[in-house]
Structure 1
Amino acid sequence: MAVYTEVSFAEADTFLQSLDLGTLQHLEGCSGGIENTNYFVTTDQAPYVLTLFERLTAEQLPFYLRLMKHLAVHGIAVPDPAANRDGDVLHSLCGKPAAVVNRLKGKSELAPTAAHCTALGEVLARMHLAGRSFEMQQPNLRALPWWNETVPVVLPFVDAPQADLLKSELAYQNHVATLSAYGALPRGPIHADLFRDNAMFAQDLPEGQAPQLTGIFDFYFAGVDAWLFDIAVCLNDWCVDLPTGQADAERSRALLQAYEAVRPLTAQERALLPALARAAALRFWLSRLWDLHLPREAAMLKPHDPTHFERVLRARIAAPLTMAALFNTSPSTVQPTETLSA
């Protein structure tokens, strides 16, 4: 949530009043994230988040905003976009597409425990199921086609071992995408960026009470893709040892068990979890390399360290994230002709 477009107090106040959201009292730029301009705004009615979209177009944005509205209607705790008098949830401010959503209560848990991962797994599964009735279609814009376009662009900025890993992993993921098991993966709208800082938990709960997830936000990478990819993104952030990138078995089991209590995984999902965990690591290594070496100007831009997801990818290759290893069960299989060897 960097600040690329400066919004004055007066501009924000006029904009918010046009949406009947009250008179502006406080305006504060957000420094987290890298894709959009975001401000915390507080009016005499309530606190909100004001977003100006820097990359996404007015044609792309209705998918994200309407998905959030759909999930909210189905009982998933997500930001609810504010509508104008005509019912539109996509607006314009300072020449940029804009939206305003209610600010979720709580605080992100940056050191999640197994209990936090349990709460996340349950909500993630409910979110996937709720999305089945969402009729709009838009692909995951940071999926395989984007990886194929981006790897050649970032190669000049990495050393030889990193370049070899990027090229070999991209070839592997192109192979995985040809498998019938991959084509059979259950699909629907996914968040695609559900890191620990994109969820909120209630604060000051009584001692011994399980963590309460109060909301999921930042849906602006969402798209229709394999639900398993969403699970893999979460496992790679919520359930890893940050210094090494290695999987934390306890947290991984907690997330998957809670998810499966709501929506059991298919045989294809179980078989392809190791491959999709690698895919999710590649996706974020690539995007962080892109943002570090090809940055845009932003008043509060803080690019993330790309080497973290390089570590995660290497860890996923060295020690595949299999259901068998996590739960001490017989390994899942795919057809013998569909090898998943690296």
Structure 2
Amino acid sequence: MSSVAASPAAVCFPLAGRRIWVTGHTGMVGGALVRRLADLDCHVLTAPRAAVDLTRQAAVEDWMAREHPDVVIVAAAKVGGIHANDSRPAEFIHQNLAIATTVIHAAHVCGVRKLLYLGSSCLYPRLAPQPMTEDALLTGPLEPTNQWYAVAKIAGLKMCQAYRRQYGDDFIAVMPTNLYGPGDTYDHATAHVPAALIRRFHEARLRGDPAVVVWGTGTPRREFLCVDDLADACVFVLERWSSEEPLNVGTGEDVTIATFAAMVAKVVGYDGRIVFDPSRPDGAPRKLLDVSRLGALGWRARTPLESGLRAAYADFLAGGGR
């Protein structure tokens, strides 16, 4: 099977009327997908962990055989920030490998019409040329602090490619940049940068702390995408893309962590000092996605960063996070 991307006009897979299984529907990404799919005339399938363990092959195949999904979106994953990845590597590589191998193979066995696998910008090499194109995958060493997660997710992406080549399955993948938004995890031990900073500045404001310490030097540059924009991109891609090549999903713009921290502090209403701790890891120096491939298909992110952060903070105040 050719790896050359089909043109937009050649791909037409309308989601209306489809049975669509969103795995990981209680997570930030899965929740956003459920909200977005509610706008379509389709039947959204969800299954709590108690109903089907995504790491058990027989359980997943039995569930799919009963529910007959036309489409599967693999949004379930073990995720976390630098500290979580670095301190619990076995959990991150095992659970993400297990989810990928189980769900992707079950989708093949059960004749699923289309599968969308969610990767991450973390899968690219630590020092990949910026902005990172989809061709940068596997061209250099990974970021050491999240290599376990990255290896597992790369395996899932490669499984999608392998099942396309051997069986002709219409399995595709997207590579989102750093995400934030409703339903994020605000736990100190596992949160990603946006959620961690929202909680840290919020609590500092309530206590009246004169300063907040932020990990690292503040100089790395990061791109941030509202999770509802990602969900919209996933729907767009499912209907218009069929190729073994992944698609980057992002805004095409990045900011320094220092600038981002100041923006979060402003949104939260914290007016104390921001102090950076260079003894803590920075992670990769820059992570900006080249989104020209998706842009050529006609999709662009729509949520400005500050307004998106205000919506995320409102969700945090309303208890929407975990």
Looking at CA atoms only, which structure, 1 or 2, has the larger radius of gyration?
A: 1
TM-score, structure 2 normalization: 0.29
TM-score, structure 1 normalization: 0.27
